[in-house]
Amino acid sequence: MVETKEEKKTVTILFAGDSGDGMQLTGSQFTNTNALFGNDVSTFPDFPAEIRAPQGTIAGVSGFQLNFGSVDVFTPGDNADVLVAMNAAALKASLLKLKIGGTIIVNLSGFDKKNLRLAGFLNDENPLTDSSLGKYRVLEMDVTKLTRACLADTGMSVKHIDRSKNMFVLGVLYWMYNRKLDTTLAFFKAKFKGKQELIEANTKVLTAGYYFGDTSEIFTSRYEVKPAPLPKGVYRNMMGNQATAIGLIAAAKKANLDLFYGSYPITPASDILHELAKHKNFGVKTYQAEDEIAAICAAIGASFGGHLGITTSSGPGIALKGEALGYAAILELPLVVINVQRGGPSTGLPTKTEQSDLMQALYGRNGEAPIPVVAPCTPSDCFDVIYEAARIAVEHMTPVFFLSDGYIANGSEPWSFPLSKDLVPIKVKKLSAGGDDEKYRPYVRNEKLVRDWAIPGVKGLEHRVGGLEKENETGNVSYDPANHELMVKLRAKKVVNISDTIPDQNIEIGEDSGKVLVLGWGSTFGASKTAVTELVKDGVEVSQAHVRYLNPLPKNLGDLISRFDKVLVPEINDGQFVKLIRDKYLVDAIPFNKIMGIPFSSQEIKEKVLEILG
């Protein structure tokens, strides 16, 4: 058999199978191997809310989409080049995401009568035998049968053997893309430490898959995706939630503060708690509270005690924290509040992504309680932005919102990580002794209107804080009308003053003036960047700006916007940032919205830009 090598710049693979088929693991292993090889990668896991939805059904399909390339990649790919379908339901649920002419790798055992029926193929309909897949290249293999044969003499039960079938597919893909097995073999050794039989079994299946690619005649070509020309540096692969956790540890360390993390488990935020709980050797205190309210209140308590208090949740959990958020704002204590947004309202779409909590973050409290809001735009950007959130919180004595989302949280990309010494210092001003005043006045402010952090244990600083309106400077309870207005204005001005410490808004791609500005925030970054990059190449007068500081907004944003004829605001919601822009700058910004629980494709943004240009 003649083997040909075909060079590809980027490839998008979609692994789809039953939620018990291990597609997330397969995808992340393939990602790590490609990242270590030097490709630029971007990933998008997409799984059902149910842990084990009925086997074989569409509801139970779990997907992992991965885009890797020898060029920069900013998104997990609009459409897949390769679809791995472990059963009929996976094929049915994912086929629309496959490019015309794309390759489908199917597991034949997943297309038996029962699987076809469960996937809703009626009357003996079978996509593998009729002509419905004519537009694609279908590679059939009986993964289940081959895996069982491979481990037949190990004495393992069929149930256990079948759990390894994802590794067979992974082996085949490693062959197809000419990758080494080393990363995954090392993973087996760490994951199954002390269970030699599992290490051997998985190694055997992975290798068998690799050789199957090599020897079987169904593959006529291998693909070559060369390393991407990323800027010089040392890289690692990084997921959003992981970057958030590591960023918190880094911020605490650089601020010389102990980190207290109060959290209640919720999808898709829990992985931050899991990651932090692994790093107790940094002195991290993770506190799994009895509910969302307790989680934030405990964090506020820790913050009063001089720790860096953090609380994390997702939309519905943030709703529960609302009262305590206003409380942290009136106390003027540092607090970082992480919202890994998901589809709403209410329980909504727990495992799907959405950007629909911006208004909640900006305004979702009783009374006048402004809180700074920042948002990362890619998985590794979570590190920089959470670090900023912590800096703002302690340097400005305020709660700060960090708005991530499910797409960023679970996605991954190569990250040129910093060294500890290169991180900007975080200046904490804790008072170490009582002043000359006979009585300490906790709400005296500096020129930025920031009060001091007076921590229990210091003689002479004894004071009381609370949610009742406080008298300016003394902090005593006050019902004085003029004092209330003054305090509301002072707290608001303190937040506005933060804009003096944040960078100007930059233009990401394109000229600094022109016909259209694509103005986004959060996880739409990659799709916008890909779209605008391609349009600029085609000579379209379009630019991209992507905002990380949502409150306060960068000082130059209004001026930047005014230099474009039209402003397009793509968001994964029904139009929230666009309202803010229209409100702040009185411009006729154009909303572009998608509320399907999935990210924009770059194609969608491209078409919209061309449409408004007419």
Partner 1 sequence: MENAEIKLSGKDFASDQEVKWCPGCGDYSILKQVQSTLADIGVKREDTVFVSGIGCSSRFPYYMNTYGVHSLHGRATALASGLKTARPDLNTWIVTGDGDALSIGGNHLIHLLRRNLNVNILLFNNEIYGLTKGQYSPASPKGTITKSSPMGSLDHSFNPLALCLGADSTFIARSMDRDPKHLRAILAEANNHIGTSMVEIYQNCNVFNDGAFFTFTEKATKGNTTLQLEHGQPLIFGDNRDLGIKLDGFKPVVVALDESTSTDDLWVHDESDLVKAGILTRFFDIPSAEMTLPRPFGVFYKESRSVYEEDVAIQINQAKEIKGEGDLNSLLAGANTWEVI
Q: For residues 400 and 498, give the distance between their C-alpha atoms in angstroms, rounded to a whole number.
A: 11
Residues 53-112 that bind partner 1 (CB under 8 A): none
Q: Which residues of 364-381 are buried (b: 16+ CB within 10 A; e: fewer)?
A: bbeebbbbbbbbbbbbbb
Report the candidate in 76, 69, 80, 13 with the shortest Cα–Cα distance to residue 43: 76
Residue (130 or 323) nearer to partner 1, CB: 323
Q: For residues 239 and 379, give the distance between their C-alpha atoms in angstroms, rounded to a whole number.
A: 5
Q: What backbone torsions phi and psi does residue 60 show, to the nearest 5 degrees? A: -90, 5
CB of 410 to partner 1, least distance (A): 17
345: contact with partner 1 by CB under 8 A = no
Residue (278 or 563) nearer to partner 1, CB: 278
CB of 337 to partner 1, least distance (A): 14
299: contact with partner 1 by CB under 8 A = yes
Residue (287 or 549) nearer to partner 1, CB: 287
In this structure, which amino acid lies at residue 292? E
Report the candidate in 550, 505, 547 with the shortest Cα–Cα distance to residue 525: 547
Tokens of 196: 């030699």
Please, are residues 373 and 594 in contact by the beta-carbon 8 Å criterion? no
Residue (89 or 331) nearer to partner 1, CB: 331
Residue (72 or 541) nearer to partner 1, CB: 72
417: contact with partner 1 by CB under 8 A = yes
Window of 6-14, 276-284, 358-366, 601-609 that interacts with partner 1 by CB under 8 A: 276-284
Long-range contacts of the stretch 128-133 (C-beta < 8 A, 24+): 133/104
CB of 277 to partner 1, least distance (A): 10
Please, are residues 395 and 427 in contact by the beta-carbon 8 Å criterion? yes
Residues 2-61 that bind partner 1 (CB under 8 A): 32, 35-38
Report the candidate in 356, 360, 389 with the shortest Cα–Cα distance to residue 372: 389
Tokens of 231: 């800027």
298: contact with partner 1 by CB under 8 A = yes
226: contact with partner 1 by CB under 8 A = no
Starting at the earlier edge strand, list the strands of the sheet with 137-141.
Answer: 40-46, 61-69, 10-18, 80-85, 98-107, 137-141
Residue (2 or 419) nearer to partner 1, CB: 419
Residue (412 or 528) nearer to partner 1, CB: 412
What is the DSSP code (8-state) at residue 95? G
Q: For residues 183 and 8, give the distance between their C-alpha atoms in angstroms, rounded to a whole number.
A: 22
246: contact with partner 1 by CB under 8 A = yes
Cα distances (Å, whole numbers) of residue 432 to 62, 147, 273, 298: 54, 66, 32, 24
Q: For residues 225 and 9, give the distance between their C-alpha atoms in angstroms, rounded to a whole number.
A: 6
Report the candidate in 534, 540, 584, 595 with the shortest Cα–Cα distance to residue 562: 584
CB of 71 to partner 1, least distance (A): 13
Residue (169 or 250) nearer to partner 1, CB: 250
Exactly one of 279, 515, 555, 582 binds partner 1 (CB under 8 A); that residue is 279
Residues 453-512 that bind partner 1 (CB under 8 A): 456-468, 476-477
For partner 1, what does the binding mask look like between residues 302 and 321, x meaning CB under 8 A? x-xxxx-x------------
Residue (68 or 219) nearer to partner 1, CB: 68
Distance of CA 510 to the CA centre of its chain: 26
297: contact with partner 1 by CB under 8 A = yes
Exactly one of 1, 100, 234, 586 binds partner 1 (CB under 8 A); that residue is 234
What is the DSSP code (8-state) at residue 477? B
Exactly one of 230, 319, 320, 444 binds partner 1 (CB under 8 A); that residue is 230
Report the candidate in 47, 46, 44 with the shortest Cα–Cα distance to residue 12: 44
420: contact with partner 1 by CB under 8 A = yes
CB of 557 to partner 1, least distance (A): 31
CB of 434 to partner 1, least distance (A): 9
Exactly one of 5, 159, 232, 537 binds partner 1 (CB under 8 A); that residue is 232
Exactly one of 233, 345, 367, 503 binds partner 1 (CB under 8 A); that residue is 233
Q: For residues 271 and 385, give the distance between their C-alpha atoms in angstroms, rounded to a whole number.
A: 18
253: contact with partner 1 by CB under 8 A = yes
Please, are residues 34 and 230 in contact by the beta-carbon 8 Å criterion? no
Q: For residues 354 and 596, give the distance between their C-alpha atoms in angstroms, rounded to a whole number.
A: 8
Window of 18-26, 53-61, 106-114, 242-250 that interacts with partner 1 by CB under 8 A: 242-250
Window of 64-72, 294-302, 350-358, 592-600 that interacts with partner 1 by CB under 8 A: 294-302
For partner 1, what does the binding mask look like between residues 154 and 193, x meaning CB under 8 A? -----------------------------x----------
CB of 283 to partner 1, least distance (A): 6
Window of 2-10, 64-72, 283-291, 364-372 that interacts with partner 1 by CB under 8 A: 283-291
CB of 430 to partner 1, least distance (A): 13
DSSP for 258-288, written as a single string = -EEEEE---TTTHHHHHHHHTTGGGT-EEEE
CB of 62 to partner 1, least distance (A): 24
Q: For residues 430 and 140, give the distance between their C-alpha atoms in angstroms, rounded to a whole number.
A: 66
260: contact with partner 1 by CB under 8 A = yes
Residue (163 or 491) nearer to partner 1, CB: 491
Window of 108-116, 255-263, 362-370, 393-401 that interacts with partner 1 by CB under 8 A: 255-263
Cα distances (Å, whole numbers) of residue 439 to 251, 333, 397, 442: 33, 20, 21, 10
Residue (155 or 457) nearer to partner 1, CB: 457
Report the candidate in 42, 38, 41, 58 with the shortest Cα–Cα distance to residue 50: 58
Binding footprint of partner 1, residue count (CB under 8 A): 70
Binding site for partner 1 (CB under 8 A): 32, 35-38, 183, 227, 229-237, 246, 249-250, 253, 258, 260, 262, 279-285, 287, 289-291, 293-294, 297-302, 304-307, 309, 323-324, 327, 417-420, 439, 456-468, 476-477
